[in-house]
Structure 1
């Protein structure tokens, strides 16, 4: 039950400040159970600046969930706060409340300084509702502050207000500072006039602006844009390759087009894989579905472990191109790359799948021999996880060959590796393994000796015979 003294008509802010944190949280929790909290708006909004973070967050939750009618008006003054954390929290809340904040914030912005104007415009841009456009255009026409103007440009792009294209084109030529933001906004709006303008401007601009234009063309382009970008494949070098590849991929997917694969395109993809950020690499790898190139596939293994989504793309490619992986794996492992563990684990997964699900596509004799030899060299690697993965892979591929290297495995300095070896040996139904298990009777770790004794006892009791 909520007390009467926290209702709007009875509220005393001094009394609120004297409440305990537990009481404040209790009242806010109770309000989450009420359909309409308009009568408690002053109380709720006053707690947005409480000293306790939990209370502030609870207040924000009630406001965004229940959206009391007067909340935007009550929260607006906090936009001018010198407390950055409070200002940012209020901004997040107002964005979540949505279009209902537009009129109150427009009214509040009258006569405010440039920082407050920019903050309000940023909020409108994040909300993305056309009801804010008239205010944004008014500020844009009357304010000379570059940061405010940039905020207006970005907001118009986020709102995707097509009628602002002519204004944005004027701003393009007004100040070079505005150009990247104008290009991005035009890309989001996506009108034919904006598209034609950017393609016309592309040859004249420096690389920084070209980069922005190439990024935008992927979102706003048409079929003609796709062929325009293909023409640039032979001309573009360096970081401009990344947005070019990305936009080609987006337009290919959008219009179901084919990207011709030649040495130049291959080089662009290789460069993107080697120099691009994870997002660019994902795009390049996605194009491998089309090109299926061995060099690109093998190069992608260098980046295994950098990014989870990138890893999943690489894995899916390797599952579909096992022959490439099986042929190149010994050379890759032999170089001992920094991500050796990631590569071993990937290969272990692919090998298990191939052996169990696709036996007809399994290893050729020469492939298996080369792989076993390369992996055995990892048994003395400095990383215990690499040694463990190598051990498991050897036994998966060929038990008989794995047993040739068992002396190195038995003396592995890692306790858990030796225990894992015992588990593997326990599942080999051959009398030959008994002698190897007996070697653990002198292990320095009691846990290992006890486990070896258990396995030996079990095998003796079950009277195991050769397969």
Structure 2
């Protein structure tokens, strides 16, 4: 690099250090495409603790985009910051820099206080590179701080260091506090020795440790473990159901095994749906691929809106078993409470799916009558989305019956619901539909009036039906 280039970078560094925040942000962003040979790395890294969020973000983007070889050397000191925001940001960047951060973290970790040591071990574990294992084991053998020891155990699991299994088994027996973390680490490592150890420990441990062991079986278990888990179905209860169901599912998928479905399994799935987390509910619903049980499917409707992925799983199941929802819809709606909007929306999307796939909706006249009656009650619901879904369901099922409720639809206080009503009426030729269009041509909202009048004029409705305002 020439003397002129060096002088130029010194000038840039001076500008960075003296400029105002917005100017600094723009300058850093412009420097991302400049080849500086690492001359600006130290200065850019020094802006990570800057008080201005824009400056911090620009510096972060620069580092992660260019990934300078020595960036970790300058960033690692910020893990000792008293400002938790700065500390966490530095940690996130070091993790994203990956293996390039390991040497700097190990070197900085020497003789640090317990908080810093734990934080650095956490970061090394999340980088998930085995190069850090020996250093983590060294800290583990020397530290007497429980938080540092737990961080080391977790990190060894994250990097899946097989040579640490014997040490982890010793730690399991040393302190009750360590057991759940050791079990989780062993599950990630996946050792046969660890599996045999945990199988032997399962029946003698407390509920908390059993929970962790059950979770780990889904990752390190084998076919024998799968059948062991099935044996637990008849006796297990409470929150232990959730990791049991999860591990059964994971091993079933891993080894392509059959899973029995009886009242005991059904009860566990129902309990999981009612009491489990969103993740556990997803697992329970995934097992419905095998079972397609009506009670479980209908129970799942109560959890619509909790989680997007869960909603998609439920939607897929309902599409494949649409007859269940039409049979039970009146009862489902009456029990839905605050969840009615989500249930009406899934009914609507199911009708649209069935129509597109089969061309017709094959439900009995009695079922259709019951659905229309129950859905029409929500045309005056306080939730505008529930009203819109109800309206669309009625028009898809039976436009003639839907028009019996046109007065309620026309009076809907939501502008977009009335616009949607105009669109639904546009393709209908009955006198009742045309009357409704004429009523909407006198709506208080100009947008609705114009759209209704456009339909009247385009279809020459005044002349055809001899209807005048």
Query: TM exceeds 0.5?
Result: yes
Gaps of 5+ in 2: none
Residue 358 of structure 1 aligns with which residue? Answer: 358
1:152-171 matches, within 5 Å, as 152-171=152-171
Q: Is the 8 A contact 2:154 2:181 kept in 1?
A: yes
1:373 aligns with 2:373: yes
| Residue 225 of structure 1: how far off its partner (Å) | 0.7
Per-residue CA deviations over 1:32-61 (Å, capped at 9, x if unaligned) read 224563233332332333333222233233
In 2, the alpha carbon distance for the partners of 1:449 and 1:361 equals: 33
Residue 233 of structure 1 aligns with which residue? Answer: 233
Per-residue CA deviations over 1:3-39 (Å, capped at 9, x if unaligned) read 63575xx699887532344554455335422456323
1:198 aligns with 2:198: yes
In 2, the alpha carbon distance for the partners of 1:21 and 1:111 equals: 36
Residue 208 of structure 2 aligns with which residue? Answer: 208
Q: Is the 8 A contact 1:72 1:104 kept in 2?
A: yes
| Residue 435 of structure 1: how far off its partner (Å) | 3.2
Per-residue CA deviations over 1:252-311 (Å, capped at 9, x if unaligned) read 000000110000000000011111111111111110010110110111111111111111
1:241-280 matches, within 5 Å, as 241-280=241-280
1:59-458 matches, within 5 Å, as 59-359=59-359, 362-440=362-440, 443-445=443-445, 448-458=448-458
| Root mean square deviation of aligned Cα | 2.6
Q: Is the 8 A contact 2:215 2:244 kept in 1?
A: yes
Q: Is the 8 A contact 1:95 1:123 kept in 2?
A: yes
Q: Is the 8 A contact 2:226 2:251 kept in 1?
A: yes
1:4 aligns with 2:15: no
Residues 334 and 82 of structure 1, relative CA distance in 2, 3 Å threshold: closer
> Which segment drifts farther, 364-373 or 227-236?
364-373
> Which segment drifts farther, 198-207 or 80-89?
80-89
> Which segment drifts farther, 215-224 or 394-403?
394-403
| Residue 447 of structure 1: how far off its partner (Å) | 5.1
In 2, the alpha carbon distance for the partners of 1:115 and 1:425 equals: 67
In 2, the alpha carbon distance for the partners of 1:463 and 1:146 equals: 87
> Which segment drifts farther, 350-359 or 277-286?
350-359
Q: Is the 8 A contact 1:6 1:43 kept in 2?
A: no
SS in 1 for 2:382: coil
| Residue 222 of structure 1: how far off its partner (Å) | 0.8
> Which segment drifts farther, 254-263 or 127-136?
127-136
Q: Is the 8 A contact 1:431 1:464 kept in 2?
A: no
Residues 73 and 426 of structure 1, relative CA distance in 2, 3 Å threshold: closer
Per-residue CA deviations over 1:84-108 (Å, capped at 9, x if unaligned) read 2222222222222222332232222
Residues 94 and 462 of structure 1, relative CA distance in 2, 3 Å threshold: same
Q: Is the 8 A contact 2:73 2:104 kept in 1?
A: yes
Residue 43 of structure 1 aligns with which residue? Answer: 43
Aligned length: 464
Q: Is the 8 A contact 2:81 2:87 kept in 1?
A: yes
In 1, the alpha carbon distance for the partners of 2:113 and 2:177 equals: 21
SS in 2 for 1:339: helix
Q: Is the 8 A contact 2:456 2:462 kept in 1?
A: no
Q: Is the 8 A contact 2:13 2:40 kept in 1?
A: no
Q: Is the 8 A contact 2:302 2:336 kept in 1?
A: no
| Residue 68 of structure 1: how far off its partner (Å) | 2.9
In 2, the alpha carbon distance for the partners of 1:360 and 1:435 equals: 27
In 2, the alpha carbon distance for the partners of 1:55 and 1:269 equals: 50
> Which segment drifts farther, 250-259 or 417-426?
417-426
| Residue 346 of structure 1: how far off its partner (Å) | 1.1
In 2, the alpha carbon distance for the partners of 1:390 and 1:355 equals: 17
Q: TM-score, normalised by structure 2?
A: 0.91
Q: Is the 8 A contact 1:157 1:186 kept in 2?
A: yes
> Which segment drifts farther, 114-123 or 51-60?
51-60
Residues 205 and 54 of structure 1, relative CA distance in 2, 3 Å threshold: same
SS in 1 for 2:337: coil
> Which segment drifts farther, 11-20 or 381-390?
11-20
Gaps of 5+ in 1: none
1:18 aligns with 2:18: yes
| Residue 364 of structure 1: how far off its partner (Å) | 1.9
Q: TM-score, normalised by structure 1?
A: 0.91
In 2, the alpha carbon distance for the partners of 1:332 and 1:34 equals: 62
> Which segment drifts farther, 422-431 or 265-274?
422-431
In 1, the alpha carbon distance for the partners of 2:218 and 2:411 equals: 57
Residues 139 and 328 of structure 1, relative CA distance in 2, 3 Å threshold: same
